[in-house]
Amino acid sequence: MNEDAALGRLRACWPGAAPRIALLLGSGWGGLTRLLSDARCLPYAELPGFPGAGVAGHAGELWLGRLGPRPVAVLSGRRHAYEDGSAGGMKLALRTLRDLGVQVLVQTNAAGSLDPALPPGSLMLASDHLNLAQRSPLVGEGGSERFVDMVDAYDPGLRALARAHAARRGLTLHEGVYAWVLGPQFETPAEIRMLQALGARAVGMSSVPETIVARWLGLRVLSLSLLTNLAAGLSDDRLSHAHTLAQAEAAAATAGELLADIVQAMAL
């Protein structure tokens, strides 16, 4: 099986204490790997069953290393549902890491702001999500475990920890509902007005499928969005992926340092 082969490759590459935390890095967050020590990098192509990287800003690499003293696994890049129509692109990778010993998934993404009070450069914790695409990575799975309870999908204890560390750094960490849309096209102004009416504060094209997989696997989840732009109709800016990456990279250093603080403080 691909999962067994990938797991064996990871264990051979990292013979020390198994990581209990995995980080999944979205657009603009790849620089976090520079904070790792004692690091080993494996391209997804060397791990059977792992996805290919098909989007700029997603390196397609798995890093094993340490943030401070804590061993972590870092997935630099994800497979998006808009690339091939499947919501399960990261399922084997996350299951492999769970079997390696991971208990917590920390997700990051770049997202559009639906709230003028969250300007570009803001950070937002996901308190909940809207699966607007109405797709699930669990389609085709058997057994009662596929009926996953999604209440508190974003762990309240981990969110409190994140807020505390942001406060210590003097950073404003917003919180709100993240809306997942399939993409790859950006939303229309009418769609943005609909999402605002539904109570979302940020919109993006990722993260929700991985949260569903993680909860199915029994992992705790924390998700942070770096807001790179005001969504369609809320400003005069023209939206593009290049603009998203540029805005994310401008705020990435501060965001990465906060994320490293949070991970090192997790009690596992």
* pLDDT of 15 strictly over 90: no
87 CB-side CA count, 13 A: 22
Catalytic residue, candidates 22, 58, 248, 260: 58
Catalytic residue, candidates 61, 73, 80, 214: 80
Q: State what percent of residues in the chain have pLDDT above 70.
A: 91
Catalytic residue, candidates 205, 214, 232, 260: 205
* pLDDT of 135 strictly over 70: yes
160 is catalytic: no
User: How many structural domains compose the chain?
Assistant: 1
Residue 36 phi, psi (nearest 5): -80, 145
Return the closest-CA partner of residue 110 out of 42, 218, 186, 54: 186
Q: How far is 258 from 15, CA to CA, in rounded Å?
A: 28
Catalytic residue, candidates 113, 136, 223, 229: 229
Contact 81, 213 (CB under 8 A): no
Q: What is the pLDDT of residues 217-236, one digit of tens each?
A: 999 999 999 998 898 878 76
Tally of CB atoms within 10 A around 205:
24
243 is catalytic: no
Q: What is the pLDDT of residues 64-95, one digit of tens each?
A: 999 989 999 999 989 999 999 999 999 999 99
141 is catalytic: no
Looking up residue 149, the CATH number of its domain turns out to be 3.40.50.1580
Q: What is the pLDDT of residues 23-72, one digit of tens each?
A: 999 877 878 888 999 999 999 999 999 987 666 555 789 999 999 899 99
The whole-model pTM stands at 0.93
Domain span at residue 237 reads 2-265
Catalytic residue, candidates 86, 141, 235, 241: 241
pLDDT score, position 251: 67
93 is catalytic: no
27 is catalytic: yes
Q: Rounded mean pLDDT of the chain?
A: 90
